[in-house]
Amino acid sequence: MNAVIYARYSSDNQREESIEGQLRECKEYADQNGITVVRTYIDRALSAKTDSRPQFQQMIHDSATHTFEAVLVWKLDRFSRNRYDSAHYKRILKNNRVHVVSVTEPISNTPEGIMLESLLEGMAEYYSAELAEKVSRGHKENALKAKFNGGPVPLGYRIDSEHHYQIDPATAPVVQEAFQRYAAGESIRSIIESLNARGIRNSRGNPFTKNSFQTLLKKRRYLGEYHYKDTVIPDAIPAIIDPDCFDAVQRRCEIHRQAPAHNKADVHYLLTTKLFCGKCGTMMAGESGRSHTGTVHCYYKCGTRKRSGKEACSLKPVRKEPLEQFVVQTALEKVLNDRVIDLLADKLLEYQSKENTRLPVLQVELKEVKRRIDNLVAAIEQGILTPSTKARMEELEQQREALETSILQEQIEKPPITREQILFWFDQFRHGDPADIAFQEKVIDCFVNSIYLFDDRIVVNFNYQEGGRPVSLEEVLSSFLDGNGAPQKGRTFVLPFLLHFPPSGAASPFALRRSGSARRASQAKQYATGIFFLTPSSGSAPQRGEHCLVIAFLLLHFPPFFGGAVFQAKQHAKG
């Protein structure tokens, strides 16, 4: 019988040695009962009260492959301390013809055994609930004594040796200054910029942001109140802010909170997490603005500029709708045609076969061992039986068992993807509606790797692309204009989509040279990154009026479908 081992320890006074002990006893049990262990699943420092355990979920998923018949656990509480979860997942395993075995709690399948198993699971759930209650009780006692219960220490305070709050003379004046300046009418942005410029940090040691500053202004702890869940103890800790100042701040916060939203719409920015500032490398975020005609326009804005102002980053915002629509349509044109899909399917299958070279070898070896066993059995049937024949048969049987175990492990860890699955995945995009936001988001998530915005150009990195031409943003805006306003005059962006691949066997007329920033960026990584320059191989500098290519080189690994190198290029007129 084939089985897997599941081991787990939580953070309640258990360590890595606990895992080693569980594995040792499970393996001893397997050896004593003729069970072949094909894989182990281990969750470290995770509670069994919840089913949010990665390796546990992977084990449940793998049970559907029918490559093992049992799950060995040290005790039933390693599987789950929640009776509902235990019954739910045991039902799934049972449907997949897999049962759970506790190696230290031998339980039969009789009615008495079922009752004993329920009793043990109930005791495990009781222990878990009792432990949680003890921790909660300890926190409650700390709260009644106004003691620190863990977490970041609020700015302006320090914790003494007896876990009580004390005023920190170094940071308390910063809190008082923040409250007083805001109560006097100064804007949050102005106060944040001032504090950050002086090197002052929040309670987590980070520069102030609008959110962290607003959180600071709302903390009633600065009035001397101690809060824990529903427990509020006034005058339990030293106060930093007087009530009049605190109330003035809260009134101003309430006024801003209730300010008209100017018909603010729920806008979905599709390029979030994909669009980056080419100047500072920060992720760009969406925001809206109102023109002189009262029309609302949506843009993408550099995160650094949004948080710290234009002095921190000078990159200007870019229109949302034309950029998103152009990226989606270009991605679909580049990938969703029969020739490209067939090419990608071939490459992906080839890549998969190269990635898992061990499985075919193991299968060939198993076939050869079985052939030798069959030959030996035929010899024994003909009366050829000697001590050496018996020893050889035992040796071949051990080899067969070891190879079958190795093959099962490979099949569990790396289930193969078929050509039909790949083609089906691509075909889903052919039937999508390009006007549907959900479909646009899916296209961008699957095919677009990253976008870098500069003052004079935009570099779009796709997960797959070939061919292309330079396209200006003026052309993009005119093609996808939606009536929400014209772009600013005097600003022209170039979206580069040229690729350079010399013919097979031909020498490239260009030499690839990396910029200094690219070399520095690659030093701490295991892959090449940054901006590359493609210049004539002869080494001569381009003459005035001639063209050279600027290339961004990106190594991609987009599991489970994409991998390889993508070249993005832009053609410039020198001079």
In a domain, 71, yes or no: yes
CA dist., res. 47 & res. 541, Å (int): 64
Examine the fold and report which residue of 216, 234, 257 is the final residue of a domain before the chain moves on. 257
68 residue type, one letter:
F
Three-class SS state of 119:
helix
- Listed residue (276, 278, 275, 305) closest to 456, CA to CA: 278
* Residue 537 pLDDT exceeds 50: no
Contacts of 363-372 with CB under 8 Å at 24 or more apart are 363/407, 365/403, 366/400, 366/403, 366/404, 366/407, 369/396, 369/399, 369/400, 369/403, 370/400, 372/396
User: 157-159 and 165-167 as β-strands: parallel, antiparallel, unpaired?
Assistant: antiparallel
Please state the rounded mean pLDDT for residues 180-195.
92
Q: In this predicted structure, which of 83-92, 190-199, 226-235 has the lowest mean pLDDT?
A: 83-92
* 73 Cβ neighbours under 8 A, 6+ residues apart: 5, 6, 7, 22, 26, 79, 100, 101, 102, 103
Would you mind telling me the total number of residues written for the chain in this entry? 575
User: How many domains does the chain contain in total?
Assistant: 4
**169 and 245 co-located in one domain:** yes
**174 and 98 co-located in one domain:** no
* Residue 532 pLDDT exceeds 50: no
**126 and 166 co-located in one domain:** no
pLDDT in tens, 299-331: 999 988 887 778 889 888 888 888 888 888 878
**557 and 452 co-located in one domain:** yes
119 residue type, one letter:
L
**445 and 386 co-located in one domain:** no
In a domain, 320, yes or no: no
CA angle in degrees (0–180, nearest 5) for 536-539-541 = 80
**131 and 170 co-located in one domain:** no
Examine the fold and report which residue of 232, 257, 282 is the final residue of a domain before the chain moves on. 257
Of all residues in the chain, the percent with pLDDT exceeding 90 is: 17
- What CATH number does residue 248 fall under? 3.90.1750.20
171: domain range? 157-257
Please state the rounded mean pLDDT for residues 124-150.
67
Please state the rounded mean pLDDT for residues 289-298.
79
**107 and 172 co-located in one domain:** no
In a domain, 67, yes or no: yes
Structure tokens at 38: 């094909």
* Residue 343 pLDDT exceeds 50: yes
**16 and 107 co-located in one domain:** yes
pLDDT in tens, 210-228: 888 999 999 999 999 988 8
CA distances from residue 248 to 171, 181, 191, 241, 301 in whole angstroms, order as listed: 22, 11, 17, 11, 33
Q: Among 200-204, 383-387, 518-522, 562-566, name the most confident range.
A: 200-204
Please state the rounded mean pLDDT for residues 413-427.
77
In a domain, 321, yes or no: no
**394 and 444 co-located in one domain:** no
Examine the fold and report which residue of 137, 171, 191 is the final residue of a domain before the chain moves on. 137
Q: Give the pLDDT band (50/70/90) at residue 147.
A: confident
CA distances from residue 103 to 29, 461, 487 in whole angstroms, order as listed: 6, 53, 71
Q: Among 111-120, 276-285, 456-465, 510-519, name the most confident range.
A: 276-285
Q: In this predicted structure, which of 105-109, 123-127, 318-322, 392-396 has the lowest mean pLDDT?
A: 123-127
Distance of CA 253 to the CA centre of its chain: 35
Answer left, alpha or beta for residue 235, where phi above 0 means left and psi between -120 and 50 means alpha: left
pLDDT of residue 506: 38
Q: Would you say 541 and 524 are in contact if contact means Cβ atoms under 8 Å apart?
A: no
CA dist., res. 415 & res. 352, Å (int): 10
In a domain, 491, yes or no: yes
- Listed residue (459, 464, 423, 458) closest to 443, CA to CA: 464
**408 and 449 co-located in one domain:** no
**443 and 568 co-located in one domain:** yes
Q: Count the neighbouring beta carbons within 10 Å of the beta carbon of residue 527.
A: 9
In a domain, 288, yes or no: no
In a domain, 174, yes or no: yes
**103 and 201 co-located in one domain:** no
In a domain, 289, yes or no: no
Q: Give the pLDDT band (50/70/90) at residue 353.
A: low
**Residue 469 CA neighbour count, 13 Å, CB half:** 4
CA distances from residue 112 to 106, 118, 119, 258 in whole angstroms, order as listed: 12, 10, 11, 65
- What CATH number does residue 76 fall under? 3.40.50.1390
pLDDT of residue 549: 31
CA dist., res. 140 & res. 147, Å (int): 10
